[in-house]
Structure 1
């Protein structure tokens, strides 16, 4: 399961109150479809709530905000208070929240109707929002943090980033509901802080989360992640390659490697896991499935001789359809200069199979 899909399944599981393992039927769906299902389920759950909530909300409007806050805390509890807040006008809900203990509010946040978040958060005092975010981090409720972070102003985000740890940043970024905000969040971190977050991914075993964040951003921020990752020591980078192989994340990692300069690419090529024929065979299969030859071949060309031979053998062992797809993609991207050195490393049988393919015969001589 891709990291993005896993995040969506876990969010859905939280919403409906079950273990993520019980939603295995969602695992094969695209992440966008799982998200749409989650949003529809959330709307149905919140819109279909009992009329009692409307009566409580109506009664809440009749008393001063401090009294309503006391009722919420003493009589309703976090879950019911969040449900009632979702039925109030955003300004009124914010007035009540401002008078509640931060820990109570943090627990309630997990149950708030996502459609109401933006309006309420925008009316809260910035310092309170920061304290709530820190409380959520302390509770390790990164999923709820991810629901809120996309609605926060830059100033608030900057203050929160100063108060929470690197792993909190990674985990919340993994669950963010507005991934279009991720580039701006990364811009708010200087290279020292972002590099610290990248190192935390290695130390805490959070490479899947880190790669999911990298996959969600582009341009300068993706390049920053690639360069800072390349500065890790050999053991840290080796752990990234192992996780990529085991979790099938080549589709995310290879575009990052493709952004590196020659020196950094050579450093990656020297990593011990990339000399393992099983790892390289998995990479080749992933590249066939995704068409990422333009990202993979420069790395393959930088590998030591034995590793390049392993790549050539893995390619030669592909089925006819896969090998045909390889040739067509190489031709489409005009990558012959990079792929022919690998063809030379194939045994006679592998080369002949390649030359006999219709896709190869249909191509003009490189």
Structure 2
């Protein structure tokens, strides 16, 4: 999940700085929490120390009717500067002016509004206007800005917006949601049929977004999304595994697979991609790096025999330090019943290496 969180946070910073996301690729190797803190400090730097000119413009707008202020915003300020000025106004005054502006102009301005002012301004807007702005943002493809705002919307507005946007938009907005604590409530508003449709849409190139949304959801909704994904057409589901392999998203996928029933897990295990030695080698290395043995081993147990052997061979070729770390993790989590059959599938030299490891010897003494 860290990779996806990092990706979302880096794109949010790119929007704040008005640069291409590719220019911030150097952030991708950092922990997501560090990038999140960088975004918070970027917000502080951009919105705390504002030019006196903005305060003077904001003060001037108080002297004219809201309609006149709206006209000035359009003709003289433009979307970016108008949003900056709105961030210096009392929320009620900002809302009055916004209600006089064309929806398209407001939608273009939304991405530039000071993040800490969003809640107070949105709370004062008419629900019909909120819905129209959300639809305009969706039409613009500005899912990142929608993600900033969605957590502040009331249930009535959310319910109406969900009826007006397509499934792909739901996933893209969920990927960028700034208030993940609201995500379960939003998923509940969809109902079972719509949630199934949203998960199915992930097969259209949106598996990373779906993994991110599932990872941010609470345990019950996460398990439900995992089950719905596992029941997709095998060709589309295979795309999920390929995506996890190609983009290094095993840390997001494996915890979801661990939540599946045995029947659903067997459906995943039967996928063509999990007969690919390169994919299996990649997942073993990812599991070693992330310590996700408890999440991975239930899947290993239902893989076809040739795939289990490929996993065993990949594990057997790991350096001694990584093998020793694996044994320590297995011991810590009491996973020997699941691991020993895997060790038995290794060739003799690999078995001897495992049995000679300090961590395994210690386990034998304690056993």
TM-score by length of 1: 0.97
1:49 is displaced (CA, Å) by 2.6
Residue 189 of structure 1 aligns to a residue in which SS?
helix
Aligned to 1:211: 211
Aligned to 2:230: 230
Aligned to 2:220: 220
Structure 2: distance between partners of 1:224 and 1:157: 21
Structure 1: distance between partners of 2:125 and 2:92: 9
Aligned to 1:166: 167
Aligned to 2:103: 102
Map 1:92-241 to 2 at 5 A: 92-203=93-204, 205-241=205-241
Map 1:349-364 to 2 at 5 A: 349-364=349-364
Structure 1: distance between partners of 2:296 and 2:28: 27
The question of 1:297 aligning with 2:303 is answered: no
Structure 1: distance between partners of 2:294 and 2:45: 45
Aligned to 1:306: 306
Structure 2: distance between partners of 1:47 and 1:338: 55
Structure 2: distance between partners of 1:283 and 1:233: 22
Structure 2: distance between partners of 1:328 and 1:303: 24
The question of 1:244 aligning with 2:244 is answered: yes
Residue deviations 1:203-258, cap 9 Å, x none?
2x111111111111231110111111011010011000000001111111111111
Structure 2: distance between partners of 1:221 and 1:239: 22
Residue deviations 1:177-212, cap 9 Å, x none?
112221221111112111111111102x11111111
Aligned to 1:17: 18
Structure 2: distance between partners of 1:40 and 1:363: 47
1:304 is displaced (CA, Å) by 0.8
Aligned to 1:62: 63
Structure 2: distance between partners of 1:206 and 1:70: 40
- Give the number of equivalent residue pairs: 365
The question of 1:276 aligning with 2:276 is answered: yes
Structure 2: distance between partners of 1:275 and 1:336: 24
Structure 1 gap segments, 5+ residues each: none
1:305 is displaced (CA, Å) by 0.7
Structure 2: distance between partners of 1:199 and 1:314: 32
1:303 is displaced (CA, Å) by 0.7
Structure 2: distance between partners of 1:278 and 1:23: 29
Structure 2: distance between partners of 1:287 and 1:183: 28
The question of 1:6 aligning with 2:4 is answered: no
Worse-matched range after superposition: 110-119 or 30-39:
30-39
Residue 190 of structure 2 aligns to a residue in which SS?
coil
Residue deviations 1:305-359, cap 9 Å, x none?
1111001001100110110011111111111111111111111001000000110
Structure 2 gap segments, 5+ residues each: none
1:268 is displaced (CA, Å) by 0.7
Aligned to 1:287: 287
